[in-house]
Amino acid sequence: MSVRVTGTEIRERLAVVRENIDRALERSGRSEEEVRVLVATKYYAPEQLSALAEAGAGLVGENRAEDLIEKQELFGDRFDWHFIGHLQRRKAKVVVPRVTLVHSVDSMRLIEELGKRAPEAGTDILIQVNVADEESKYGVSEEEVEALLETAAETGGRVRARGFMTLAPLVDDPEEVRHVFAKLRTIRDRLRKSWSPHFDLSELSMGMSGDYEVAVEEGATVVRIGRMLIEEDGPVRRQDGS
């Protein structure tokens, strides 16, 4: 796959995304808060990351351990690396030392494995919740979340739960999935009170290219933007502020 746009064009598109995020923060009364833009690089060839680096992107997320290794060996600490794909336990030993946050933790056995592989300083995770209850998506149900938090707490600080992640159904109108994001925020707020001595649970990784503004309005702290930065049709700047 060849680079379709330049670093300057990607920078301009990122600026549009951030402007849209700022307006969403204002609409939701969160104007003093920060939302990080994670560029999901699943569809980016290694050479396209050069343009991304030139554009000033700082946070990227990989879906596969093999791609993470290949791209990180080329770009090293030029980016802050997260892992956002489904993580198999056998790949944990490869992924853990290479990322600062794993977004997609969805089982007690994976947490136990991450605890074994964590460095002395520990490893940070998000618990993936299948809020929409889609059979095609990974993640645990709301009822299972506390069991995973308890498993993380039992690692004695080697695995630290920073919050939650979810994937909303793909829809044409992002308003149709607003309830998914609102539900994850509700789950976080409920659990944050009782788990605050152990975990801050401050992070909500939710919202992608088609629905990130609604996700921000509902409390997202990280949004995941993918191919829209390098395809012919870039992100849309909302003219009416809606």
SS3 readout for 78-123: HCEEEECCCCCHHHHHHHHHHCCEEEEECCHHHHHHHHHHCCCCCE
Q: Is the pLDDT of residue 1 over 80?
A: no
Is the pLDDT score of 241 beyond 50?
Answer: no
SS3 218: coil
Give residue-wise pLDDT tens across range 60-97: 999 999 999 999 999 999 999 999 999 999 999 999 99
Residue 15 CB: number of other CB atoms within 10 A?
A: 14
| Mean pLDDT on 7-25 | 95
Task: Give the DSSP letter of residue 219.
Answer: T
Q: How far apart are CA 229 and CA 52, in angstroms?
A: 9
Q: What CA–CA distances, in Å, run from 24 to 18, 137, 218, 237?
A: 10, 27, 9, 12
Categorize the per-residue pLDDT at 237 as very low, low, confident or very high, splitting at 50, 70 and 90. low
Helix (H, G, I), strand (E, B) or coil at 162: strand
Whether 51 has a pLDDT exceeding 70, the answer reads yes
State both tokens at 208. Answer: 């992608």
Of 213, 45, 56, 38, nearest in space to 126 by CA: 38
- Which of 99-103, 134-138, 175-179 has the lowest average pLDDT? 134-138
Q: Is 128 helix (H, G, I), strand (E, B) or coil?
A: strand
Q: Which domains are present in the chain?
A: 7-229 (3.20.20.10)
Contacts of 29 (CB under 8 A, 6+ apart): none
β-bridge pairing 123-128 and 101-105:
parallel
pTM for this one? 0.93
Residue 12 main-chain phi, psi, to 5 deg: -65, -40
Quick: pLDDT tens for 106-153.
999 999 999 999 999 999 999 999 999 988 899 999 999 999 999 999
Phi-psi region of 82 (alpha: psi -120 to 50; beta: other; left: phi over 0): beta
